[in-house]
Structure 1
């Protein structure tokens, strides 16, 4: 991969409704601050990835938009209540790079080198085929890629790994633990912390104590 050639789409919900299952994970830390930190650390790693030519944040939250612009991302307006897949499609349609990836905004331990490895694997794989990376449990999806001229055609949501496979996308195979570790629950946040969190999320974890996961 000799030059940046990827556009990466990062949809972010309004902070008031984002990451609802994570609410209360850090006692004493406002939930919106945690949701913003997850997205900011994800975006920071995306922008630091040498394969990425541009990052597009799709949101209708003013705080998210301001943080994204300050970090160097391009912001596209999200349509309220249109849903995550519509946001991914909107971002992909606005991309200027030929290769497009969609990533969830909740991978705060993400290492730029791991993202670069996954994008290189997608780029070197079978042409004309979308690729996806399941999350750590294997049921969801953290990354979806498409080459030039190939629609991203996202199927994010419950059981998205199966949905993406059924749509013709092929799974990516590689050792990228920080990329696969999305954060939906307090237990996920603890697991991400073991990998090493980005600075904003790490600061909030230091300020609060993660709630004990049930079981």
Structure 2
């Protein structure tokens, strides 16, 4: 990525990705029975693998994490993310707060929203998505179920209007965003909300943080079967 000099510092150019992270008490509740006492650790691990993969993508200049929880905030900050507080007004309000921070940090860069539950995310697949998204004022990637959304992005200077939650694919389409119908980006679409989702992510190959927690969940038997 190219750099521009501002004062004495070189500022990296590229996408700023905004990643919303719930408080651990509310995170991954549909995995509670399957993960048991490891649910909170699993939620942090999944977010860590998502953010680490994003930061490893050459098209990404920075990641802004929006959270009100100090535990994931510390873990994600240690990975290199810029952490801002969650205004506690819902998912899209959190994303808009992160988007505003992104513009303050790099006003000439494109901004994207990335869900925090993509533990199998591949930097190369994210690069394919960001390259395609750069051709449109606003674009998005549907989740594997083709109901929700895992990524929404806008060009620099375009209003950042995320419409996540529930049937967000239809809302992003209705808002004029281009749906990116791409092949070979399964890791970008495999968000994890349920035990079945986690099994599919494991089949794709998850990052080291998630893998370590799942190994603990398997215990001495070396097996994990979701309830």
Q: Normalization by structure 1: what TM-score?
A: 0.92
Q: How does 1:157-168 map to 2 (within 5 A)?
A: 157-168=165-176
Equivalent-residue separation in structure 1 for 2:53 and 2:76 (angstroms) = 12
1:8 is aligned to 2:17: yes
Deviations 1:32-75 (A, max 9, x none): 10111111110110111111111000001001111111111100
Q: Which stretch has the larger CA shift, 141-150 or 89-98?
A: 89-98
1:211 Cα deviation from its structure 2 partner = 4.1
Deviations 1:4-26 (A, max 9, x none): 41000001010111121121223
| Larger RCO (alpha carbons 8 Å, 6+ apart) | 1
Deviations 1:72-105 (A, max 9, x none): 110001123x111001100011113310000000
Partner of 1:44: 52
Aligned residues: 208
Residue from 107, 112, 120 that aligns with 1:101: 112
Conserved in 1, the CA contact under 8 Å of 2:16 and 2:62?
yes
Structure 2 regions of 5+ residues with no counterpart? 4-12, 219-223
Partner of 2:202: 193
Structure 1 regions of 5+ residues with no counterpart? none
Residue from 30, 55, 73 that aligns with 2:38: 30
Conserved in 2, the CA contact under 8 Å of 1:45 and 1:111?
yes
1:30 Cα deviation from its structure 2 partner = 2.0
1:189 Cα deviation from its structure 2 partner = 0.1
Higher helix share: 2
Equivalent-residue separation in structure 2 for 1:5 and 1:133 (angstroms) = 19
Equivalent-residue separation in structure 2 for 1:73 and 1:157 (angstroms) = 23
Q: How does 1:137-148 map to 2 (within 5 A)?
A: 137-148=145-156
Partner of 2:226: 212
1:89 is aligned to 2:96: yes
1:112 is aligned to 2:123: yes
Equivalent-residue separation in structure 1 for 2:186 and 2:172 (angstroms) = 20
